[in-house]
Structure 1
């Protein structure tokens, strides 16, 4: 049995780990928005007003990450493999968009966002039975 088989016992566990990544990033972003901003290689705002705006935007992003992570975790806990597969497919969308935003803003930074996209898509496809 392949690890990407829809019946693989490891596949949901790996998906749970991938789903926990945005949860952990989100918690870090709520507690330390400037650290999350810096880890994305974004330029540091120079005025107090722009720093407050950047902190607020990072907290909004952090809240989104927490919701996505908790949703994936709840689906994993419930044991619904098909729904977890769809959650992984959906989860792949936000780092792809984040990567596009990063590319537009700083001309790079894709390494922070895009690696999870094929992993989540592969997990989702496996859980949905698309890979055998």
Structure 2
């Protein structure tokens, strides 16, 4: 049986896609948690802090939307769509890593650890390894 038809592959993908749901909800609930998690400094001024918290909440919404999209594709059984969503998620982790370098000078592996996982799951679902 080709790897793209293995029954465990969509389930592994939804575990990978489910993590951003939890992170996104937590970021929307407590933006400072996200700053601390990623090693970003909290801004000093009240207006800067408000803006930073709002931007972190936007990222939480992005993560939640990604995770829910993966959940919808998994639930509908659409392996192709789920595969593409995994690839998009990998792209997000690459950009997030570069953003971390730009902001803190490091911390990339907090993001890039997930890149090969998403590429492998997405490629597997799309039949790249058949």
- Taking structure 2 as the reference length, the TM-score comes to 0.96
CA distance in 2, matches of 1:63, 1:23: 9
Match of 2:59 in 1: 61
Could you say which structure has the higher helix fraction?
2
Match of 1:48 in 2: 46
CA distance in 2, matches of 1:57, 1:97: 16
Match of 2:73 in 1: 75
Q: Report how far residue 7 of structure 1 moved.
A: 1.1
SS of the residue 1:109 aligns to: coil
Structure 2 gaps, min length 5: none
- Taking structure 1 as the reference length, the TM-score comes to 0.95
Q: Report how far residue 64 of structure 1 moved.
A: 0.6
Match of 2:82 in 1: 84
Match of 1:115 in 2: 113
Q: Which moved more, 1:95-104 or 1:43-52?
A: 43-52
Write the mapping of 1:16-35 to structure 2, written as runs, cut at 5 A: 16-35=14-33
Number of equivalenced pairs:
130
Structure 1 gaps, min length 5: none
